Structure 1
Amino acid sequence: MWQASAEKVCSRSSCSERFHAHLLAQLVCPGRHTLTSLITTGGRQFGDWTADYALYAKQRADPNVLYSQVRHEIEAMNPPSQPLVVALDDTILRKTGKKIPGSAYRKDPLGPPFNINLVWAQRMIQYSAAVPGPNGEARMIPIAFQDASTPRKPRKHAGEEEVAAYRETMRQRNLNALAIEKLDALQKERTVAGQQPPPLHVVVDGSYTNRKVLRKKSSETVVIGRIRKDAHLSAKPDGQKPHGRKRIYGEDLPTPEQVRTDENIPWKDVEATVGGKRHKLRVKTLGPLRWRAAGEMDLRLDIIAPVAYMQRPNGKRLYRQPGYLICTDPDLPLALLLQEYIWRWDIEVNHRDEKTILGVGQAQVRNANSVESVPAAAVAAYAMLHVAAMKAYGWNGKPNTIPPAKWRNSKKKKRASTQDLVNELRRELWSDSINPKHLTDFMNRGTTGTKSVKSETDLCSAILASTA
């Protein structure tokens, strides 16, 4: 799979082999994931490195081809009638260089809620597709990693043409505009001549549930997103007057928070899988209705009651915040809608694994093309790793060559983690090289049936030999 995908990305054999080595090195590299570390991991640190940097700087490798292959594999694993559930979310890659293209001051998502912190970072948008498993679970695998950087703001005394060009570029580089453009391209790519692909369901958070996304999305795309608790909703108009302008909105409806607290609207019990277990959630639904951000589109409001939890056994019972969801398909089954939105959390797991285990964003590159393609290639390697693991072990399968640590509870662990797959890949690639038979000079085999003894060095003879 690795070699075939690399050959599709690069036209020349030398380029494809180099890119193939980079993809493997992105997964097994033990230190910081810079380009020099990838070269060293591949054992090519004593050769010329310019071709490795030119691989990305001169756009000789296109990670989008890898993502297209990953998406085909995901749709092949899903049932034919299964909608393609895609979660999208933006993330930042922290940088230190002030002259890195696309870097700017961004809001720190890890900052405290009472104080907004700013960090120098690069902005990206990730799209992950769901692979449903048993018992209603799903695993999100990235199918796109898009650069969402913005241009530098002109200086104070810049000309009008420069300022106008900056504002136009800012409108085009808006997160919502980039998301809609990518989703439309994804839908066109999925459409085969003469065949209609399964529906596309997009689950997003509140930052993408707005006018730009809802009104500009394609008619085949279903959006499930969060909404404010004080949103102004309206009913569908009962009828049209014989004269005058066409009515789009009817009478005003209660806000989502008022619907939640209204005792006259009953709660419904809906089962969903959360954290590998089946839970019964209470949900209120209201629809079809209209929202001014969506125009003439019929929507449905779904409210999830706060879920109780305890931080310790026999502790105080606490409650999470309620969830307010909007769906652009009023006829979508409530259990399916709720389960698909719960799957969205796995994209946050993707962000964590990509940054902590694969070191996405650590490459010290300054070329504009490299700044975009190097992180995208690393995330593509992450996606291909999980696709290969599912095809090799199954959805719930885990590599059992390396025994788990003693503190690991194998019964509670439902699936293999990214670190488990990376460790297994390292074992397959390096086990022969670090076999004890190759390290005989460091072992004392004089006595049998005993533990290995460290070989003691004669320091005096070492000093005399160095001064001779």
Structure 2
Amino acid sequence: MWPQVQLLVIGAVLSPGKRTVTAALRVLGLADDPRFGTFHHLLSRACWSSLHASRVLLNLLLAAFVPSGPLILGLDDTTLRRTGVKIQAKGIYRDPVRSSRGHFVKASGLRWLSLMLLTPIPWANRIWALPFLTALVPSQRYHEQRGRPHKTLTDWARQMLRVVQRWCPGRQLIVVADSAYAVIRWISDLQQGRPITVITRLRLDAALYDPAPERGAGQMGRPQLKGGRLPTLVSLVDDPKTHWKRVSLHRWYGETHREVEIVSQSAIWYHNGLPPLPERWVLIRDPQGKFSTQALLCTDLIQTPMQILEYFVQRWQVEVTFEEVRAHLGVETQRQWTDLASARTTPALLGLFSLVTLMAHERWQGQDVWVRRAA
């Protein structure tokens, strides 16, 4: 299979439009190859492990860009439009690319959860999000029709993070995600055993408490889970007693320099029936008034508010990568319909983004970057 795999990879890089197997063969001059069925079978029938390929790709990325230190990971999901009765795992979801605050767009397609390595690229002078592990998240209807328990988005995310933790036993994992992953039970599960640091958005009306007081000698009853109730974050925004600190960020959503005001404190996030979650929250306000006040949480109480903010700003690169793979690698144009081929093709194209980055890094390491431009 390996010679055919290399040809498909080269054809996927060179194809100018749709990323189908036929398009890859045509661009290589193999449109009349009588063995064309073998290339299709690589995705639909051949025995190989996408999970093992993800581990190999991650090791290559770590050796090239992050040989030591903590791993900063971006976690996010995206919906790729697919139609047809034979696409079994599809569902109807909110389309985050085409929707806005005032305009809701639904899309029928496949939902993918991608884990990306956030790392500075020396020759690009910025941080990139490099995909290395992507999983298909089937719809609830798909599981109900087969009599299986439904795995939610956070269930898949927890499993993927634990897999990466086993792959990198000596490395600290710091995961940056959006508000969809601000779930107490999910975050608490990641703090069991070897804890995984989670940085995500926090609701301004979240119930925050002081830590539970120490249990006295001879005290009867169940131990307390939390202390006294703290004011909500939304009440601190307009409170004149709130002491805001102005800080300057070198990277901010496409800008090279930005000043914001922050205030931070540690607390216990608690909801009835759920485990208490110790966390550090950071409240962010824009002096220019261009964005509304928002809050972040971090499960590592030692992290400074400035470091938490810098980590979270890197999350935007995940959205950039989703846009880049659509524009340049033909993600959402593939046309496989079998279950195995559908589950393999999109992770392979996302991983191709990281593979091309590794090729460019090897070519431009220690040299001036040369890019061909039009007039």
Relative to the length of structure 1, the TM-score reads: 0.72
Of 106-115 and 371-380, deviating more is 106-115
The offset of 1:100, in angstroms, is 1.0
Q: How does 1:51-450 map to 2 (within 5 A)?
A: 51-78=38-65, 81-109=68-96, 110-132=98-120, 137-150=126-139, 152=141, 166=147, 168-170=148-150, 173-191=151-169, 197-218=170-191, 219-240=194-215, 242-272=219-249, 273-274=251-252, 275=254, 277-292=256-271, 295-306=275-286, 308=288, 319-394=290-365, 398-400=369-371, 402=372, 404-406=373-375
Q: 1: distance between equivalents of 2:63 and 2:139?
A: 36
Q: 2: distance between equivalents of 1:108 and 1:145?
A: 18
User: For 1:157-186, what per-residue CA distance to the aligned partner results, in whole angstroms no more than 9, with x for missing partners?
Assistant: xxxxx77x64x531xx21000000010011
Amino acid at match of 1:321: S
Q: 2: distance between equivalents of 1:188 and 1:95?
A: 33
Q: 1: distance between equivalents of 2:361 and 2:232?
A: 44
Q: 1: distance between equivalents of 2:120 and 2:370?
A: 20
SS in structure 2 at match of 1:26: helix
- Contact conserved, 2:70 with 2:174, CA < 8 A, in 1? yes
User: For 1:174-212, what per-residue CA distance to the aligned partner results, in whole angstroms no more than 9, with x for missing partners?
Assistant: 100000001001100112xxxxx2210000001011023
The alpha-carbon distance between structure 1 residues 396 and 323, as it changes in their structure 2 partners (threshold 3 A), is farther
Gaps of 5+ in 1: 1-14, 155-161, 192-196, 309-317, 407-468
Of 352-361 and 175-184, deviating more is 352-361
Q: 2: distance between equivalents of 1:278 and 1:394?
A: 27
- Structure label with greater radius of gyration: 1
Q: 2: distance between equivalents of 1:225 and 1:397?
A: 37
- Contact conserved, 1:70 with 1:387, CA < 8 A, in 2? no
SS in structure 1 at match of 2:134: strand
The alpha-carbon distance between structure 1 residues 34 and 305, as it changes in their structure 2 partners (threshold 3 A), is same
Gaps of 5+ in 2: none
Residue matched to 1:24: 10
- Contact conserved, 1:176 with 1:212, CA < 8 A, in 2? no
The alpha-carbon distance between structure 1 residues 29 and 133, as it changes in their structure 2 partners (threshold 3 A), is closer
Cα RMSD (Å): 2.5
Residue matched to 1:7: none
Amino acid at match of 2:71: L
The alpha-carbon distance between structure 1 residues 38 and 137, as it changes in their structure 2 partners (threshold 3 A), is closer
Amino acid at match of 1:221: I
SS in structure 2 at match of 1:244: coil
Of 82-91 and 296-305, deviating more is 296-305
Residue matched to 1:463: none
Q: 1: distance between equivalents of 2:352 and 2:276?
A: 42
Amino acid at match of 1:202: V
- Between the two proteins, the alignment pairs up a number of residues equal to 365
Q: 1: distance between equivalents of 2:367 and 2:234?
A: 39
Q: Name the structure, 1 or 2, with higher relative contact order (CA <8 Å, separation 6+).
A: 2
- Contact conserved, 2:325 with 2:350, CA < 8 A, in 1? yes
The alpha-carbon distance between structure 1 residues 69 and 382, as it changes in their structure 2 partners (threshold 3 A), is same
SS in structure 2 at match of 1:266: coil
SS in structure 2 at match of 1:372: helix
Amino acid at match of 1:198: R
Q: 2: distance between equivalents of 1:288 and 1:79?
A: 32
Q: 1: distance between equivalents of 2:367 and 2:281?
A: 34
- Contact conserved, 2:213 with 2:226, CA < 8 A, in 1? no
SS in structure 2 at match of 1:226: strand
- Contact conserved, 1:204 with 1:225, CA < 8 A, in 2? yes
Structure 1 moving runs of 4+ over 6 Å: none
The alpha-carbon distance between structure 1 residues 112 and 280, as it changes in their structure 2 partners (threshold 3 A), is closer
Q: Percent same amino acid among aligned pairs?
A: 20
SS in structure 1 at match of 2:78: strand
The offset of 1:138, in angstroms, is 1.8
Of 28-37 and 112-121, deviating more is 112-121
SS in structure 2 at match of 1:351: helix
SS in structure 1 at match of 2:72: strand
The alpha-carbon distance between structure 1 residues 130 and 395, as it changes in their structure 2 partners (threshold 3 A), is farther
User: For 1:406-463, what per-residue CA distance to the aligned partner results, in whole angstroms no more than 9, with x for missing partners?
Assistant: 5xxxxxxxxxxxxxxxxxxxxxxxxxxxxxxxxxxxxxxxxxxxxxxxxxxxxxxxxx
User: For 1:106-145, what per-residue CA distance to the aligned partner results, in whole angstroms no more than 9, with x for missing partners?
Assistant: 2222134345332211100111111135799422111111
Q: 2: distance between equivalents of 1:345 and 1:395?
A: 28
The alpha-carbon distance between structure 1 residues 136 and 232, as it changes in their structure 2 partners (threshold 3 A), is farther
Q: 1: distance between equivalents of 2:68 and 2:257?
A: 24
- Contact conserved, 2:248 with 2:258, CA < 8 A, in 1? yes
